[in-house]
Structure 1
């Protein structure tokens, strides 16, 4: 049976699996609590940072360190997370991540000075980075091909939902209790709740059947698939997963030497490129410093905190649209439209910041443009990026490959988040956004040249297609 025929047979059998679909949805929502924590912990600094400045005596440099230390830790969490997930299992490592989330959150909430804050956010970053690799891989390996896009991108929905919750709770606490000493500590400590939920919930979900098969546990792999698929679909998919797992076990463990193979080199180029172009839009300058951007534009601090909620709301709404679109259009055109839209919005923000006098009018114009930017970013670029990173790497390279790609993603994120307040102070906000415009044009050119289409193919079919297309043109 060919790969395409197997895929159609699986999708037909899937149509009758209501009970298994409900179970898969429950598993998805539990696992994506890792995404919620990712979003909350990266977004909460946006509202907490203005209240930390006096308590921790922050300068523009230490302000950048506090914001970016989590991102720096996340880079190494992603790099190690992929390897650990390959060695010990996706489920087991996500349980461990929940504990690290809890420890890091408590550390940041109790931090007495900048040193402890930066150290605790580094620890928290390890968990965020690990989750950014493990959760999408876990979901991709659990999902049937026909619904992989919608399932994996629920993690992106939970990320932006976490950011919205962070923006909203910070705005509420900052507005109502803004005069209370250390109110930022209460903003940070709220993340303990989903961390506990993730830790408990993961004990009730199955391990990835593909990871089990890759480690020779074929009986457990079949039983896991039978919980997630109707019987006929489970058997068909099991045979394909088992076949590729046996083929991979005959090879040595994946490593740098494998890059001698042209098709693997192409996958790595695509993966690293996706990671870079997702971040050089400058999205996290808005997600981490949105409140400060609105203050510079003309809002007061408390008004900026409230206005910044709009960024969170549009991120969630756009992600719903992105999930809907992924079931109907290709990954590649979505990515290109998103890159063009974000670059145009950044150009407009730079022009408004340069030409419109400081005040309420400029503040609302900048807010409208950041909302437009996030509609393209969260509705197209981010869901496509995380989905494609979870699906393009072959099984024997999946943890290592995605770990390396997400390491690069977080390091670019670190560079953006560390340099943004310094650049704003040195060359003004308008010129800072013009830098992102230039980078955005480069991202559009890369996406047009190198990004392939993966929609509607099983993970195994994607691997075979890369092998067939080695040295060929983008499809």
Structure 2
């Protein structure tokens, strides 16, 4: 039933757009004296959704959506409106302050996530002794692994799955505010723990809160940002998560000499980012897409967009385009269990699920979170002093933050997929080279230089690609009806794999040694490269609604295209240096734009 409803919905969207194309063909784009009959659908839209008082601006928006008339020829359009529309291409970063405030909310949430993550990095040097689990036994290694992975474990098993119901009940802003309160309490509670069981309890609840914050804010940023800069602005999550990691490392050094309770200060410090987050998210307008999904309140969506765009015309265009492209409500009112089921049964959504999950899995396979959690331990194992290990970790955090800046400009130019394919091979090489450092005697300065430089270089390669892409990608590839559950389940995949890797790393380190551990993760980077190549389509410069076309091609056909068309072209172009090598575009393949809804189409 859901598949038939999807087909009907897409037909309705196509019919709406065809009406405008037919009318334009009949009357000609130069005729300006259009009356209400010409804009029958616009009038109906305005009347149905309480926007009749904005009918004039909606008529101009409808002509802008058509794109078959020169911008200057749109009746009653003002010079300010013309300039604002053109600036979307010429000066795309000129956005209202509330747009940037929405991104600031995402940044603050990311800082809290990164800081909470690396607070354990420094605390790892003191917690084993404080809780009597410092003996090198399998039991103690497992306990320490559970404490380190607790925020990922609870996020993957519970926190990520609370996103959809909390968003439905509280809205994007309300869900973030509530989760920020829990984050504040659990950060302080963990610092006051007197046993490792209490610390584990608070870290588990902290993970649930961080899961809601990360998934919701990623969706919130993607839904608020204009298409031209959505990727660049959404990069703020990873960039400021890296900044939070850096702050965490700095805080670890600052309180290093505070005595036996220094770990308490390290664990409590991340609460400092949650207070401004609660203030900023309270001021921000609600996501326009949230109003559309729950109740079809296009009037409220328009009100939000007027605060997030430079002119009312741009807001009217975006809300009307959302109306034209939004499928009829097929799954918005479906049960939670039905929505989860459709992630894997509805072909268009299933392909998005596979692609999003692949990016999230690849992020964990590359090994970055192992370094983020255990960098101080790794440097200590390389015969650094305790203070030296903490300082080396600070440098790691700084490189991670600075390295994310290129993604702001490249996310919407090179594209999501291209960034991953460009960086993963070099990440594998640097991880392997870091392992080779352990073949050099520790008393040789080359050991320190090679290990530190390769870890920092790995981080610099990770930051503009595998760092920001998975969250940006997962927040945009799902249709509105499944956006929360799709994004949050993707985060759950990343969290579960982060848990597995965090739990196993102490034992891997003990069994394989440092060189073996780095070599293993070098191989896993190659695995990630293959997965991205086969299962992750490009999404740059597509509206959230236009991504239906991207995921119209069956997975088998996409894989075949990559292996039989793209790979031979790449080899000819960049290995054989054949400048005239031509690549057949997927858009030229017959079924690219035709949504395949049959269950047999994978």
CA distance in 2, matches of 1:461, 1:166: 39
TM superposition shift of 1:470: 6.9
Who is 1:34 aligned against?
109
> Which of 214, 226, 230 is the matching residue for 2:293?
214
Who is 2:200 aligned against?
118
Structure 1 residues 464, 135: closer, same or farther in 2, change over 3 A?
A: same
> Which of 477, 481, 497 is the matching residue for 1:396?
481
Q: Please give the secondary structure, in 1, of the residue aligned with 2:180.
A: helix
> Which of 358, 381, 392 is the matching residue for 2:442?
358
Structure 1 residues 258, 57: closer, same or farther in 2, change over 3 A?
A: closer
TM superposition shift of 1:55: 1.0
CA distance in 2, matches of 1:146, 1:19: 11
CA distance in 2, matches of 1:251, 1:30: 26
Who is 1:12 aligned against?
86
| 1:22 maps onto 2:106 in alignment | no
- Point out where structure 2 has 5 or more consecutive residues left out of the alignment: 1-16, 22-61, 72-83, 134-139, 563-585, 587-602
Who is 1:44 aligned against?
119
CA distance in 2, matches of 1:276, 1:11: 39
Q: Please give the secondary structure, in 1, of the residue aligned with 2:539.
A: coil
TM superposition shift of 1:192: 1.8
Structure 1 residues 346, 22: closer, same or farther in 2, change over 3 A?
A: same
CA distance in 2, matches of 1:451, 1:89: 30
> Which of 492, 495, 503 is the matching residue for 1:407?
492
Who is 2:460 aligned against?
375
| 1:196 maps onto 2:270 in alignment | no
Contact 2:102 2:224 (C-alpha < 8 Å) held by counterparts: no
Aligned pairs for 1:123-272 within 5 A: 123-174=205-256, 177-178=257-258, 180-215=259-294, 216-229=296-309, 230-245=311-326, 247-249=328-330, 253=334, 254-257=339-342, 259-272=344-357
TM superposition shift of 1:97: 1.0
CA distance in 2, matches of 1:314, 1:6: 43
Who is 1:285 aligned against?
370
Contact 2:434 2:454 (C-alpha < 8 Å) held by counterparts: yes
CA distance in 1, matches of 2:404, 2:548: 27
Contact 1:263 1:470 (C-alpha < 8 Å) held by counterparts: no
Structure 1 residues 307, 275: closer, same or farther in 2, change over 3 A?
A: same
Q: Which has the larger radius of gyration?
A: 2
Who is 1:98 aligned against?
180
CA distance in 2, matches of 1:252, 1:64: 40
Deviation by residue 1:327-379 (Cα, 9 ceiling, x = unmatched): 321211111122112111111122222x1112353233211111011111112
Who is 1:62 aligned against?
143
Q: Which range moved further: 83-92 or 139-148? A: 83-92
TM superposition shift of 1:258: 5.9
Contact 1:91 1:207 (C-alpha < 8 Å) held by counterparts: yes
TM superposition shift of 1:41: 0.3
Q: Please give the secondary structure, in 2, of the residue aligned with 1:452.
A: coil
Contact 1:28 1:151 (C-alpha < 8 Å) held by counterparts: yes
CA distance in 2, matches of 1:82, 1:315: 31
Q: Which range moved further: 405-414 or 344-353? A: 344-353
Q: Please give the secondary structure, in 1, of the residue aligned with 2:242.
A: helix
Q: Which range moved further: 6-15 or 256-265? A: 6-15
CA distance in 2, matches of 1:334, 1:465: 18
> Which of 470, 488, 499 is the matching residue for 1:385?
470
TM superposition shift of 1:19: 8.1
TM superposition shift of 1:431: 1.1
Count of aligned pairs between the two proteins: 470
TM-score, structure 1 length as denominator?
Answer: 0.93
Aligned pairs for 1:285-364 within 5 A: 285-353=370-438, 355-359=439-443, 360-364=445-449
Structure 1 residues 35, 235: closer, same or farther in 2, change over 3 A?
A: same
TM superposition shift of 1:193: 1.7
Q: Which has the higher contact order (CA 8 A, sep 6+)?
A: 1
Structure 1 residues 426, 250: closer, same or farther in 2, change over 3 A?
A: closer
TM superposition shift of 1:156: 1.2
CA distance in 1, matches of 2:553, 2:331: 20
RMSD, aligned α-carbons: 2.3
Q: Which has the higher helix share?
A: 1
Structure 1 residues 63, 17: closer, same or farther in 2, change over 3 A?
A: closer
Q: Please give the secondary structure, in 2, of the residue aligned with 1:381.
A: coil
CA distance in 2, matches of 1:313, 1:172: 15
